[in-house]
């Protein structure tokens, strides 16, 4: 990710640095860990990490307070659009059934059955994800995706304002999807000012 960002910034002639902060536990996040110059703009990129913190609301709140104090120019969030946080086993089971059915359908269309990456996805990530959603409770259930409206309300509490993606961003997203042989089975939809990437099979 860092190399691609540096390359993109260079192509736009933008001064850019990519700094990684390693933490063994997100509750240890502090402003002092971030080396930020007074005149530089900061971007926070959060890819499918926040959902794993829903079971530890104190850690999630701490992280968001630190991010808010850092005052980034923009925060980019990618999360799974699903409801895996229901206290009802039946609701979680049904949601997991539809959710992972789409994933397996996607793999069937996009990857050969003998593909080693597919085997890892099915044998480890999907297996563990299904087990975590359906068969665990309490803090052990770390896979807790929520719907976009839940995230909207959450970010609003911290004074964060949703902004619309530019036309060029939407064009770029569509171009990336079309590069894949199964891209015609993907959907790109706007939900408010957010972009939802889906699978129609």
The DSSP string of 92-108 is: HHHHHHHHHHHHHHHHH
Examine the domain organization and report whether 195 and 133 are in the same domain.
Answer: no
Examine the domain organization and report whether 70 and 151 are in the same domain.
Answer: yes
Structure tokens at 118: 């597919």
Examine the domain organization and report whether 187 and 109 are in the same domain.
Answer: no
Domain interval for residue 189 = 165-201
Which residues of the chain have a pLDDT value below 50? none
Examine the domain organization and report whether 107 and 158 are in the same domain.
Answer: no
Examine the domain organization and report whether 4 and 22 are in the same domain.
Answer: yes
At 38 the pLDDT is: 85
> What beta strand segments (E) does the chain contain?
43-47, 74-78, 186-191, 194-199
Examine the domain organization and report whether 102 and 173 are in the same domain.
Answer: no
171-200 pLDDT, tens per residue?
999 999 999 888 889 999 999 999 999 998
At 21 the pLDDT is: 83
150-162 pLDDT, tens per residue?
999 999 999 999 9
Examine the domain organization and report whether 6 and 53 are in the same domain.
Answer: yes
Examine the domain organization and report whether 65 and 151 are in the same domain.
Answer: yes
Phi, psi dihedral angles at 77 (to 5 degrees) = -120, 125
Examine the domain organization and report whether 74 and 154 are in the same domain.
Answer: yes
What is the value of pTM for the model shown? 0.86
Examine the domain organization and report whether 61 and 126 are in the same domain.
Answer: no
Examine the domain organization and report whether 120 and 150 are in the same domain.
Answer: no
Would you say 194 and 162 are in contact if contact means Cβ atoms under 8 Å apart?
A: yes
**DSSP labels, 158-185:** TT----PPPHHHHHHHHHHHHTSTTGGG
The owner of tokens 């120019």 is 73
Examine the domain organization and report whether 157 and 199 are in the same domain.
Answer: no
What's the structural domain count of the chain? 3
């Amino acid at each position: 990710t860092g190399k691609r960002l540096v390359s993109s910034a260079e192509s736009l002639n933008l001064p850019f640095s990519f700094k990684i902060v390693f933490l063994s536990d997100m509750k240890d996040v502090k402003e002092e860990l971030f080396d930020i110059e007074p005149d530089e703009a900061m971007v926070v990129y959060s890819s499918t990490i926040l959902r794993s913190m829903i079971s530890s609301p104190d850690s999630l709140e701490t992280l968001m307070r630190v991010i808010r104090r850092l005052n980034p120019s923009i925060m980019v969030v990618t999360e799974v659009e699903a409801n895996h946080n229901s206290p009802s086993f039946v609701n979680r089971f049904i949601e997991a059934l539809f959710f992972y059915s789409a994933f397996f359908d996607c793999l069937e269309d996009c990857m050969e059955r003998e593909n080693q990456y597919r085997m890892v996805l099915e044998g480890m990530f999907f297996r563990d994800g299904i087990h975590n959603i359906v068969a665990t409770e309490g803090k052990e259930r770390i896979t807790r995706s929520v719907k976009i409206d839940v995230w909207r309300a959450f970010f609003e509490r911290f004074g964060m304002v949703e902004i619309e993606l530019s036309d060029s961003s939407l064009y770029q997203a569509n171009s990336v999807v079309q590069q894949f042989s199964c891209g015609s089975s993907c959907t790109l939809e706007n939900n408010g000012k957010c972009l939802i990437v889906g699978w129609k099979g």
